[in-house]
Amino acid sequence: MTPNRGVARAASALLALALAVGLAACGSDPLADQYRAGDNKGFIAADGFQTKEIAPAEREAPVDFTGTTERGDAVSSDQYRGGVLVVNFWYAACGPCRAEADFLETAYTSFAGQDVAFLGINTSDSAATAGAFADKYGVTYPSALAAEDGALKLAFAQRTPINATPTTLVLDKQGRVAARIIGQLSESSILETIVRDVLAEQS
């Protein structure tokens, strides 16, 4: 083998390695990587997906609310005090809401037996439409209806912006907004990570 040919082969091998590393980097999930690294205090993705965690000392007063679910059951903030509550704002014709329904259900079931509850807030549908959505997409946690109860959504909006659908909130054990997720969830793990962090806090 001539020296020039050996150098060429070595250069080709280095180029292939560099390309492989570059492709691996391109295939990573930056949002998930950020959370795995622990730098999860705020993120805005290119598609507008946003997460924001709020330190305990910076949280506003608890959210006080009452409502009625699609099944006709009464719900109120008092029922959830002492545990973590995940609140998802949605409506049936919302494409991102349909797309993230399975991720929310996965997160919900992952906390079975723990002090974590999930509650949907349906912003525009009738009880029948909301119930049909839950049946079709396998959502087993309840949703309160805000279409005929303006005070329900307002109770949350007084504490944090509810300017987009879907929006998901995580309330701490005192009922204060501890985290806000704006936009469609593309996986359940980020929400689960946030919930675990809030669940681990001292009351």
Percent of the chain having pLDDT more than 70? 76
Residue 91, SS3 per DSSP? coil
pLDDT recorded at residue 195: 98
Taking the CA atoms of residue 74, residue 83, residue 40 and residue 143 in that order, the dihedral angle to the nearest 10 degrees is -10
Query: Is 91 found in the same domain as 7?
Result: no
Categorize the per-residue pLDDT at 21 as very low, low, confident or very high, splitting at 50, 70 and 90: very low
Q: Report which of residues 21 and 67 the model is more confident about.
A: 67
Q: Which domain holds residue 150?
A: 40-199
Query: Is 87 found in the same domain as 58?
Result: yes
Categorize the per-residue pLDDT at 202 as very low, low, confident or very high, splitting at 50, 70 and 90: confident
CA-CA-CA-CA torsion sign (8, 9, 12, 18): negative
Domain membership of residue 34 (yes or no) is no
CB 137 within 8 A of CB 100: no
Percent of the chain having pLDDT more than 90? 73
The residue with tokens 């705020």 is 42
Query: Is 124 found in the same domain as 57?
Result: yes
Query: Is 24 found in the same domain as 63?
Result: no
Whether pLDDT at 27 is above 50: no
Query: Is 174 found in the same domain as 80?
Result: yes
* Cβ atoms < 10 Å from Cβ of 115: 12
pLDDT recorded at residue 49: 77
CB 107 within 8 A of CB 142: no
Query: Is 177 found in the same domain as 128?
Result: yes
Domain membership of residue 35 (yes or no) is no
Provide mean pLDDT across the span 175-199: 96
Whether pLDDT at 46 is above 90: no
Query: Is 121 found in the same domain as 89?
Result: yes
pLDDT tens track for 60-111: 999 999 999 999 999 999 999 999 999 999 999 999 999 999 999 999 999 9
CB 199 within 8 A of CB 84: yes
Provide mean pLDDT across the span 13-40: 41
